[in-house]
Structure 1
Amino acid sequence: MAKKNFKNYILNGAFILLIAVLLFVPSAKALLIQGLMEVGLFNPSVEKQTLKNEPALALSFKDANGKTTTLSQLKGKVVFINFWATWCPPCLAEMPSINKLYEKYKNNDDVAFLLIDADNNFEKSLGYMKARNYAMPVYQMNSSVPEQLFTGSLPTTIVFDKQNRLSFKHEGAANYNSKKFVEFIAQLRDSSK
C-alpha cells in the first residue's frame, strides 16, 4: 500500500512539474505549440481578406543597420509582415514555419518578408535568429501602426498584395508553411492586379 502511494506521489509530482515547465518556460511552450502545428492545428484561414480596398497608410520600417524601408517602396511585391518577440512562446513556435516559407521565396523578387521585432532590441532578436540559423530580415517599426493592422497582440501576421492592399491578417500562432498558405502567397504573387 505504501509503495502504491509513493508511486502516485511521484507521478503526481512529475505531472505538476511538466505543467509548471509548460507554463513558465517559453521554449517548452513553443515546442508544444510546434507539435500541435505539425498535426494540423493552427493553420491560418487563407480566404482572401481584403479588409479595405484602399492602399495602406504610410508604414516605415528600420533594419539593424538603420536603413529605412517603406511599404510604398515595396509596391509591386507581396509583403509578409510578422510582429513577434523573443519572449513570446507562440511567436517562437511559428518561427520554423515562417522560416520555411521565407526559404521558398527568399530569392523571389515579388515577395518581401519583414519580421518586426516587438522587443525593440535588435541585438536580442538578431541573436535569436542567428542561434537558429534563420536568415529572415528583422526590422523595427519606424512609424506608427494603425490599429486596423496591429492591436498589440503577438504574434500578428499581415500580408499585403502587390497594390499594398491588406489581403490577410491573423493574430496568434499559425503554420505559415501549410500547403494552403503557400498557395495563397503564390496566388498573390502571380496576380497582376
Structure 2
Amino acid sequence: MRPFLLASALGLLTLTATAQRASINRKTVFTDVDGRVLSKDEYKAKLRTGQFKVYNPQAEGKSFVSLSLQPADTPDAVRLKALTPLRAFNTAAPSFTATDLQGRTLTLETLRGKVVVLNFWFVNCPYCLEEMPNLKRVVTSYQPQDSVVFLSFALDKPERLKKFLEQRGDFGFAVVPEAKSFAQQFAIAGYPTTIVLNKQGQYIYDQEYTDNTVRLEEAIRRGLQP
C-alpha cells in the first residue's frame, strides 16, 4: 500500500509509528493549545496560519482518537531544518532526467540558474489534492516569467493522471508520471512533500503539506536572490 501519512496532511514532522498509519474519522477529537475542543475545519484553519503544528496525536488501530496543537517552529527554525538529513539544506540535490506528460524532458543540469519547486504526490492522496489550489496560486504569481520552474512527481500511471487532470484541471506544475523511482531518489517518506532548490540545485526548503504557502513563497524569494 502506498505510504500516506497524516504528517503529510497536517504538516507534522514526526509521529509515532502507530500514528503514521492512522487516519482521521468522524470520532477524532481536535483540541486547541489550551485544550478547547475544535471542529475539524477550525483545527485545519489554525494549522494553515503557520502558527501551530500537530501535537500529541493519539491513535487506536488505524484511527486517530485525538489531535492537539502546539506553537509551530519559528520561520527561522523551518528555514534551517530539512525533514531528513538526506536533504540537508545547502547540499546538492541528486541529478535527474524526467519526462513529463507533455513529452518534455527535464534535467536538473538544464535547470541550473532557476529556482526549482518539486512536489511529490499521487491521485488518491486527499491532502495532495487539498493543497493544489494554493500551489496553483503560487505558480500563477510567477507566470509568465521562467525564473521559477514548478515540477511534480506523481506515483500514478500516465493514463490515470491525464484523466484526473482533465476532470479536475491542472495545478500549474509539470507532471512526471510513474515517479516512484524519483521519490526514492529524493528519499520521500510522506505525501505530499514539496522541496525548493536554489539556482545551484541545492535544497533550501523541505516540507510536507504546503497548504499554508507563506514559507514556501519565502523560500522561493530567497532562492531568487543573487
Question: Normalising by the residue count of structure 2, what TM-score does the alignment of the two structures yield?
Answer: 0.59
Whose helix fraction is larger, Structure 1's or Structure 2's? 1
- Answering whether residue 219 of structure 2 is matched by residue 184 of structure 1, we say yes
Query: How far 1:52 sits from its partner (Å)?
Result: 4.8
Q: Which amino acid aligns with 1:41?
A: L
Equivalent in the alignment of 2:65: none
Cα separation, partners in 2 of 1:60 and 1:140, compared to 1, 3 Å: farther
Whose strand fraction is larger, Structure 1's or Structure 2's? 2
Structure 2 runs not aligned, ≥5 long: 1-24, 28-38, 54-74, 83-87
CA RMSD of aligned residues (A): 3.1
- Answering whether residue 26 of structure 2 is matched by residue 19 of structure 1, we say yes
In 2, Cα distance between the equivalents of 1:83 and 1:117?
6
Structure 1 runs not aligned, ≥5 long: 1-17, 21-31
Cα separation, partners in 2 of 1:144 and 1:128, compared to 1, 3 Å: closer
- Answering whether residue 140 of structure 2 is matched by residue 103 of structure 1, we say yes
Equivalent in the alignment of 2:169: 133
Secondary structure of the residue that 2:120 maps to in structure 1?
strand
Secondary structure of the residue that 1:74 maps to in structure 2?
coil
Query: How far 1:124 sits from its partner (Å)?
Result: 1.9
Equivalent in the alignment of 2:67: none
> Which segment is superposed worse, 148-157 or 136-145?
136-145
Secondary structure of the residue that 1:115 maps to in structure 2?
strand
Give the greater-gyration-radius structure (CA): 1
Query: How far 1:81 sits from its partner (Å)?
Result: 0.5
Q: Report if the CA contact (8 A) 2:112-2:199 is conserved.
A: yes
Q: 1:41 aligns with which of 44, 47, 53?
A: 47
* Greater relative contact order (CA < 8 Å, ≥ 6 in sequence): 1
Cα separation, partners in 2 of 1:110 and 1:74, compared to 1, 3 Å: same
Equivalent in the alignment of 1:11: none
Q: Deviations over 1:133-184 (max 9, x none)?
A: 325221136794475733342111111001100111113x222533x43233
* Identity across matched positions, percent: 28
Task: Count residues in correspondence.
Answer: 159
